[in-house]
Amino acid sequence: MYFLHTADWQIGMKAAAAGSAGAHVRAARLKAAGRVVAIEADFLLVAGDTFEDNAVDRALVQQTGEILARFRGPVYLLPGNHDPLQPGSVWEHPVWRQFPNLHVIREAAAISVPGGTLLAAPLTEVHSRHDPSACLAGIERPGGTVIGMSHGTVEGIDPDTEHHPIARDAWQRARIDYMALGHWHSTSLYPDADGVPRMAYCGTHETTRFGERDSGNVLRVRMENGLPKLERIATGGLSWLTIEEQILVEGDLARLRDRIAALPANALVRVDIRGLLHAAEAVVLRQIAEMSGRFLHFSLDSEALRPAAEDGWEEALPAGAVRLAARHLRERAASGDIVAAEALLELQALAAQVGA
Ligand SMILES: [Mn+2]
């Protein structure tokens, strides 16, 4: 048995965090889907949340079905919590009947697949505290290699989940050799006592947001004598890069600027700078802000930067009210007053402009 395990395509997601790059991010999910179906395997499992919700544009459903149909073997699609099997759902679209290799899981069943048997049951609700894989144990199945497919949160990830909790030993309870899971977007394996990965999240095929660890993959699984061997294949096209930097000494900010300048242009970049801004480097901070145009998406948060206390630049201001005001702002900034810290930065920039 030799198959691809993918999930959480979330086609139709809004990608609001990507701002004006949202359309690019949405298109990237379809492009990555094209890369998935081009990978060689005997069949393909999509373990839930193919779509962001049941209201996505019907043209997008058609397009997704056409991409899936390009896979050179049978494709088995599991309705997940984002796209549960319900009246009016995406699964009523005619595209699922248009191509003979597309199979939507519409009931708990044993399905004959190349090399063995697949057990799966569709999700029919957005929220549930019941284990969606529990019913697999009761399904009659022939001998040979048996795998399962389900969608939810493996015990231990989030104890308060309303998203279909799945037992740690769900594969044993279901009496199967491997459980293909969807829902969490990072690739994660669950080995048995002998270190054999018996359950796995393949992760989303294309990263959906900043901070998503180890996503943008599919798993290719080869079952040999009932033992799964997993191969992780990268399918993501976008880089979501988060840079969190603490600026301490003069020179740190310039090094950060050079690092950002070296990032690939098609990246989505989020920069979070905290620490001390030295007067001489105010210009470097501006240079970093001006890099926004070179990336697909760029956001800079430098609100946690504070003027460095040792600078004493305000002592070069003309004696009088302005210098006094700067000293007061410095004192208040030093005691954690964010508005004062920002005012001091602005005053500093103004002073630089007028050559004070
Ligand atoms: Mn889900």
Q: Taking ligand 1, which is a single-atom ion, which protein residues have CB atoms under 5 Å away? A: 49, 80-81, 183
pLDDT digits (tens, 9 = 90+) for 55-109: 999 999 999 999 999 999 999 999 999 999 999 999 999 999 999 999 999 999 9
Q: pTM of the entire structure? A: 0.86
CA of 329 to the centre of ligand 1 (A): 49
Q: Could you tell me the distance, in angstroms and rounded to a whole number, from the CA of residue 269 to the centre of ligand 1?
A: 26
Residue 356, pLDDT score = 60
Distance 204 CA to ligand 1 centre (A): 10
pLDDT of residue 278: 82
| Neighbour tally for 237: CB within 10 Å | 17
Residues 151-168 have a mean pLDDT of: 89
* pLDDT (0 to 100) of residue 56: 97
Domains of the chain: 2-234 (3.60.21.10), 239-354 (no CATH)
C-alpha dihedral (182, 84, 90, 38), degrees to nearest 10: 10
The per-residue pLDDT for range 284-305, each reduced to its tens digit, is 999 999 999 999 999 999 988 8
Cα of 78 vs centre of ligand 1, distance in Å, is 11
CA of 168 to the centre of ligand 1 (A): 17
DSSP string, 152-220: SEETTS-TT--B-EE-TTHHHHTT-SEEEEESSSS-EEEE-TTS-EEEEE--BSS--STT-TT-SEEEE
What's the gap in Å between 245 CA and the centre of ligand 1? Answer: 32
Alpha carbon of 142 to ligand 1 centroid (Å): 30
* 164 Cα: distance to centroid of ligand 1 (angstroms): 9
Q: Distance from the CA of 80 to the center of ligand 1, in angstroms?
A: 6
Q: What's the pLDDT score for residue 348?
A: 81
Per-residue pLDDT reduced to its tens digit, 320-356: 998 999 999 888 877 767 688 778 878 887 887 877 6
- DSSP 8-state class, residue 91: G
